[in-house]
Amino acid sequence: MVSKPQVRFTLGKQSSLAPDTVSCSDSDSDDGLEAIDPRVRLMFFSSEGDLEGIKKLLDSGTDVNFKDIDNRTALHVAACQGFTDVAELLLERGAEIDPQDKWGSTPLADAIHYKNHGVVKLLEKHGAKHLTAPMHVNNAREIPEYEIDAKELDFTNSVDITKGTFAIASWRGTQVAVKKLGDELFTDEEKVRAFRDELDLFQKIRHPNVVQFLGAVTQSSPMMIVIEYLPKGDLRAFLKRKGALKSITALKYAMDIARGMSYLHENKPEPIIHRDLEPSNILRDDSGHLKVADFGVSELLKGTHAAKHEKPMSHQDTTSGRYVAPEVFRNEDYDTKVDVFSFALILQEMIEGCQPFVTTNERDVPKLYAAKERPPFKAPSKSYAHGLKELIEECWHENPERRPPFRQIIVRLESIYNSIDRKKHWKVQRFRCFRMMGMCKGEDSDTSTNNRSSWI
């Protein structure tokens, strides 16, 4: 028996991995379909969404897993076209879930490429696997040095941390924090791009007051970013437990934050804007120091001499509207000074013991900032060391250009801290002096009545 020659099916959308993806018109009429190989007709009906035609062919014995010259199946075609009902029928009739065409593309990969979400969900429900990640490379030499084998990450006792953004895992005997880009997000190009951007930023960062990047999973699904795990949690949880902090503690924490942010803003050749600086994104390490974390909406300020970023950022992109600079709310150009504004609010919160405008609905807080209102200073004056209120007011100034850069903020914080430390040292010395005098007085009273009278 002579086998039928292989054919190439070229109607409709083609493989997502084909070198020259084309979308053929239906100019090839369906006249004389009865004379065409039934397997090709199966491909054609799948591209047209013709359920009845498909059923008749399958009932007559046509192979549901027929592959054309490019190794494409009817399920590939249905996935490309976005026909969920056709894909479901083919699967019910025994279609293989993960066949690969000559370029290595599966029906799921094609459905993701063409953003056919209904087909994606259906295929995933039937067990389809993501063979490659969006950042997958074909040449082993191109695999980045930071790549971590996903098999090394153990999520057996995993729990969500940091607002659910990260989860704890075990990696080479050490607990780490892992951020995943779930499979269901592969069809969202914006989220994939944000993941790439965050990964690019992490690779540029090395500082004691910025969370440490350990590696990433980019060659398999789901993609992941792996950073150091800080078990003491974030500043938000700490402030919730402790309330208002002593000035000396608040200053120590403020210097940690400022040093981390100064490092980001002084990054060469392009500054890094955090854009979401707030207590939940600041973590505490074992030594009690703070580290800036979560760069999900951070970005490089493009251009070596750039002073402004002209792409508006919605305040809804951030975690909390209570820390958003007014220029962001107004969709104006912004620069690194948006982080300085947020820093001022965090510093005040550490001393006041409550969030900015805590009794106001969070959605309305940015409107107050835009109207030039700022959270009131309610704590006793002694809670604010000399010069601290003035620094906070400068940092949240309405005009971004009037806000000091972090390198200046650090100098001023250190000066205020040293002033408090000197006073504390002087008080300790004075106490010791009085104590010594009291001890001497007691010794004299035991040895001589005359001496005792001299102290009276």
Catalytic residues: 276
Give long-range contacts, CB 8 A cutoff, 24+ apart: 409-414.
Answer: 409/258, 409/262, 409/340, 409/343, 410/255, 410/258, 410/259, 410/262, 412/387, 413/251, 413/254, 413/255, 413/258, 414/255
State the sign of the Cα–Cα–Cα–Cα dihedral 391, 393, 394, 396: positive
CA distances from 129 to 105, 123, 272 (A): 11, 9, 36
**Alpha-carbon gap, residue 115 to 248, rounded angstroms:** 54
Which residues contact residue 84 at a Cβ distance below 8 angstroms, ignoring those fewer than 6 apart?
Answer: 116, 118, 119, 122
Classify residue 292 as exposed, middle or buried by CB count within 10 Å of its CB (0-12, 13-18, 19+).
Answer: buried
